[in-house]
């Protein structure tokens, strides 16, 4: 028998787990070419990372070179906060994605990247659990085609984070924390503030003071986008650290990396640096009362400024230096300039060629030589011959 490949992938539903912290995993029934059927569990963040890697492996089919050539299906990025509702609502998209994935050309659908991702893992057979924590809850996708996936109901699952240092609140809407406190995150704001609950207390906490339980890095953070998104500064800010930028209200900049701690990496001309996301507004969006509201709020602290921070993870958080941001940003800008220049050069060559063709004198038809007398006598009629002779 040849190499293993997947015949069909069926989304069965999702499971809510409570160890090591509350989270969701999707359940897939994978049907293989040897007629075996295996049940596997995958987090959406894993699926999205798999999707990004697949696009990098097949840039033509992913539409990176020409969008018209795209055949790899789209998959939305993880949200800032993936709760019960977003997990439910995503099932239709995910089921369609799996169907289209298996039906792609064999060089994609049967490549090792796809096969290895859906192979059974040890934790698929024996999920890691804690006997002191309640068992996972299963939410099956309705088999009735008329029933929508959003009809599944259940309690909202909150992510558990740990405080890495003491935090003293500065307003009544915030919540004080001690290092080591375990909090449930109710809401994640792009401004860098998380709304948390701890027993009977609730309030806003800077995201920089919290770390996820599974690892030092935020799985929801997206990769840098050096193409940039245009934003307008809504409130001036003067840089305090060397890697920050000072901007004035009304300045237009490009956001190249959105980070959960509320300090986004932006680009002004060819300079990059951190800037508070809460002082920015996407270009073209309607202006609201946010402007006056922001003047009464301060930017969240940065993780690098927190003293006595203690993490439970051995590895430190992955962090891209401003030098790397600047270098990659310049490379992207230069590549776009070169692309534009090459396009312009090709356009000029075509124009010049067309002009040369238009100005080129047209060739005149050649005048045939006058036939000789003998040739005429040989080809003319008898009547004509008598007249000549």
pLDDT in tens, 109-124: 999 999 999 999 988 8
Together in a domain, 51 and 109: yes
Q: CA 196 → CA 182, 199, 300, distances in Å?
A: 10, 10, 15
Residue 174, in any domain of the structure: yes
Which structural domain, as residue segments, surrounds residue 18? 6-140
Residue 322, in any domain of the structure: no
Domain count, the chain: 3
CB 25 within 8 A of CB 88: no
The yes-or-no verdict on residue 92 having pLDDT over 80 is: yes
pLDDT of residue 34: 85
How confident is the model over 279-309, as pLDDT tens digits? 998 888 776 555 455 556 678 898 888 888 8
Give the Cβ contact number of residue 10 at 10 Å.
Answer: 14
Together in a domain, 40 and 116: yes
Give the range among 47-56, 128-137, 249-258 with minimum mean pLDDT.
128-137
Rg (CA), the chain: 33
Q: What is the mean pLDDT of the chain?
A: 83
CB 244 within 8 A of CB 266: no
Residue 199, in any domain of the structure: yes
Q: How is 202-269 classified by DSSP, letter by letter?
A: EEEEEGGGEEESS-SS-TTPPPP-TT-EEEEESS-B---STTB--B-TT-EEEEEE--TTSEEEEEET
Together in a domain, 87 and 16: yes
pLDDT band at 51 (very low <50, low <70, confident <90, very high): very high
Render the burial of 343-379: b for 16+ CB within 10 Å, e for the rest. eeeeeeeeeeeeeeeeeeeeeeeeeeeeeeeeeeeee
pLDDT of residue 384: 74
pTM for the whole thing?
0.51
How confident is the model over 187-225, as pLDDT tens digits? 788 888 888 888 778 788 999 999 988 776 666 677 888
pLDDT of residue 151: 41
The CATH number of the domain holding residue 110 is: 3.30.1520.10
pLDDT of residue 296: 60
Together in a domain, 185 and 237: no
pLDDT of residue 298: 77
136/158: higher pLDDT: 136
356/58: higher pLDDT: 58
């Amino acid at each position: 028998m040849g190499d293993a490949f997947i015949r069909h992938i069926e989304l069965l539903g999702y499971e809510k787990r409570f160890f090591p912290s509350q989270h969701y995993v999707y359940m897939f029934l994978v049907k293989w070419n040897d007629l075996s059927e295996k049940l596997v569990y995958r987090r959406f963040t894993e699926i999205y990372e798999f999707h990004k890697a697949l696009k990098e492996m097949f840039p033509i089919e992913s539409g990176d070179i020409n969008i018209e050539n795209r055949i790899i299906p789209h998959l939305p990025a993880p949200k800032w906060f993936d709760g019960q509702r977003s997990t439910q609502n995503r099932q239709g998209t995910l089921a369609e994605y799996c169907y289209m994935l298996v039906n792609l050309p064999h060089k994609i659908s049967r490549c090792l990247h796809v096969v290895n991702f859906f192979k059974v893992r040890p934790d698929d057979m024996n999920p890691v659990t804690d006997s002191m924590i309640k068992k996972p809850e299963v939410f099956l996708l309705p088999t009735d085609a008329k029933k929508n996936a959003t009809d599944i109901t259940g309690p909202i699952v909150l992510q558990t984070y740990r405080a890495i240092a003491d935090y003293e609140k500065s307003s009544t809407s915030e919540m004080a924390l001690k290092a080591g406190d375990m909090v449930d995150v109710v809401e994640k704001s792009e401004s860098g503030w998380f709304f948390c609950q701890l027993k009977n207390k609730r309030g806003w906490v800077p995201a920089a003071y919290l770390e996820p339980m599974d690892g030092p890095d935020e799985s929801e953070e997206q990769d840098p986008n050096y193409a940039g998104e245009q934003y307008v500064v809504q409130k001036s800010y003067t840089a305090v650290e060397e890697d920050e930028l000072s901007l004035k209200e009304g300045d237009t900049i490009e956001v190249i990396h959105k980070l959960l701690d509320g300090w986004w990496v932006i680009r002004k001309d060819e300079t990059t640096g951190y800037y508070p996301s809460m002082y920015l507004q996407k270009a073209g969006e309607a202006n609201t009362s946010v402007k006056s509201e922001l003047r009464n709020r301060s930017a969240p602290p940065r993780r690098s400024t927190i003293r006595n921070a203690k993490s439970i993870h051995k590895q430190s958080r992955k962090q891209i230096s401003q030098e790397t941001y600047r270098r990659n940003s310049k490379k992207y800008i230069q590549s776009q300039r070169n692309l534009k220049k090459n396009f312009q050069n090709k356009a000029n060559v075509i124009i010049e060629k067309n002009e040369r063709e238009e100005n080129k004198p047209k060739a005149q038809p050649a005048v045939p030589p006058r036939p000789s007398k003998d040739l005429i006598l040989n080809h003319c009629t008898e009547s004509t011959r008598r007249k000549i002779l």
